Amino acid sequence: MNKGKDRLQGALDLLVLQSLASRGEMHGYGITVHIQTVSKDALAVEEGSLYPALHRMEQEGWIKAEWGATENNRRARYYAITVEGKRQLDTERRNWREVTNAVAQFLEYA
């Protein structure tokens, strides 16, 4: 049962990696806005969850970070997906499909 729980908790990785793969380099606030906008406000990522996840993904080698200036000329870290991150994104997509299929199957027959 923990396997499914781990996969559901991993949805943040999927959302962040997908955002960076589709939009390119972004700062943390831009990632949160992108996720919220694309999901039509159904998903909101809290800073307390996002920044530890970004740090962990950077340590894993899935993303890289560089300091830069925002549109408002404020200093921010910009994140970009790496080759390893693209491979992880494929894994996260597969895992998410397995979880959603399992939940759909459960709802159908429970």
Q: What is the pTM of this model?
A: 0.88
Q: Where residue 72 sits, what CATH number does that domain have? A: 1.10.10.10
Sign of CA dihedral 31, 26, 13, 94: positive
Which H/E stretch holds residue 80? strand 75-81
Q: How many domains does the chain have?
A: 1
Asked if 13 contacts 53 with a C-beta cutoff of 8 angstroms, the reply is yes
Quick one: 15 exposed, middle or buried, by C-beta within 10 A (0-12, 13-18, 19+)?
Answer: buried
Q: State pLDDT tens for residues 49-83.
A: 999 999 999 999 999 999 999 989 999 999 999 99
Q: Which domain holds residue 24?
A: 2-109
What is the torsion angle, in degrees rounded to the nearest 10, for the CA atoms of residue 32, residue 38, residue 43 and residue 46? 0
Mean predicted confidence (pLDDT) in 69-98: 96
DSSP one-letter string for 17-53: HHHHHHH-SEEHHHHHHHHHHHTTTS----HHHHHHH
pLDDT at position 8: 47
